[in-house]
Amino acid sequence: MNFAIPRNNNSEMVLYIWKIIELPFISLSDLIYELSFELFLFSPNNASQFIQKVIDNNLLVEISNNMFKLPSNLTQKLNNWHIKRKAQILKKIESSKKETQEIDNFDKNNLNKFNTLLKAFLDKGTINRAVTISDGAFNIIKFDPKSKIIKAEVKGSNDVPYNIEISINDKFIKHNCHDFQTNRVKNKKFCKHLAKLFLLLKKKNEKSASFFLESITNEINNWDFLI
């Protein structure tokens, strides 16, 4: 949600104010006080001038005795914003529940072969960061136990996606995120991207995902972690 102050657009500015004050109507004096001493958007004099300007442009409607409310078109926009905001909050809550459940399942299921193998490559907290990455951030290009190759892309903070390449035959893992390059390579550990990738591969085929992890584990001293 964007809460940047839209100072160059009076219509959006009125909506911005109403998103914060959350009142069906307000008196002129209270509105001036809110704008000046609660929200610190204007001096009292400038607040009065702004209010008069938006009244003149039908962006505020007087209902009685210096009480004002939004006009119907802005009320509809505000309602739509609330609906969208509620959907975003519910989506975030659901995502948070899913992340917590995924972490709990991973922590508790210590007898699972895949979990045991993956944990060997994780520093504390990596799995917590991994589950926060959206499944949709990954493009799994190749996951082939026969050719023993994994190739994937993952959206990061930059416009250009990070690359991941794993080859059992050539015994290397290559990845180009900053954390992997600076912190993980020297200790042959996984960053959050690699951890998340294997969690996704587990969903596709747990046996094949475990095969790759076991192949790396069994000959870890012969594997290169490349940048």
Q: What value does the mean pLDDT take over residues 60-82? A: 94
Domain boundaries, given as residue ranges, for the chain: 7-108, 111-226
Helix, strand and coil content of the chain, in percent to the nearest 5, comes to 55, 15, 30
pLDDT for 37 equals 95
Name the pTM for this structure. Answer: 0.62
Burial of 94 (0-12, 13-18, 19+ CB in 10 A): exposed
- Quick check: 104 pLDDT over 80? no
Q: What value does the mean pLDDT take over residues 122-147? A: 92
Q: Which CATH number fits domain 7-108: 3.90.110.10, 1.10.10.10, 3.90.740.10, 3.20.20.10?
A: 1.10.10.10
Q: Return d(Cα 68, Cα 57) in angstroms, integer.
A: 14
